[in-house]
Homo-oligomer: A and B are copies of this chain.
Amino acid sequence: MEHTRWLDEDEQRTWRAFLVAQRLVLDRIERRLQSNAGMPQAYYEILARLSEAPGRTLRMSVLAESSWSSRSRLSHAVARMEETGWIVRRSCPTDRRGQLAELTEEGFAALRAAAPDHVESVRETIFDGLSPAQQAGLREACEKLVEHLSGTGRWPVIRDSGPDGPGAARAS
């Protein structure tokens, strides 16, 4: 057996910093979104992707990929959001295995209502504390990580649906 490649001091600090920063950031944003819009970040993501789709409708599998969600997770999430009236499911006409998820007017309204504070929260949490150079460094590293990890993991590689990100709700 090969000897373990332990982390040197710099690597330890990097890993710790990433872990803690990730916790603090996600936690803060999740908490604020939950208290202001009554939805977790993952649901916001799903609604945002749906809102950008033609007809505000996507197949479950496509939606799962574009929101970086497992099928099981998406299935549970959509079931929940169907109960709250944000999404409706319809069967797919061309493939009887498939299901289409469609954003309802209520769902779209919920997304629009949630967006401004969520964006503000993201800005305060991430961008207000980092210099432009630090933002660039963060982005470069994260994009590289995504590239590094998205081929071999459990999620298929997908193309980002464009530079619009979670902001579709602002575009109308």
Contacts and interface: CB of A to CB of B under 8 A. Distances in A.
Contacts of A165: 7, 12-13, 15-16
Count this chain's copies in the assembly: 2
Given A6-B119, A149-B129, A165-B16, A142 B21 contact: yes
Contacts of A167: 6-7, 12
Given A6-B119, A25-B149, A137-B137, 16 more contacts: A4-B120, A6-B170, A7-B119, A10-B135, A12-B164, A12-B165, A14-B142, A16-B166, A17-B142, A21-B145, A24-B153, A28-B149, A31-B157, A134-B141, A137-B140, A137-B141
Contacts of A116: 4
A155 B24 CA distance: 8
B135 A23 contact: no
Interface string A90-125: 000000000000000000000000011001101101
B17 A146 contact: yes
6 closest A-B pairs (Cβ-Cβ)? A137-B137, A129-B148, A17-B142, A138-B141, A12-B165, A21-B142
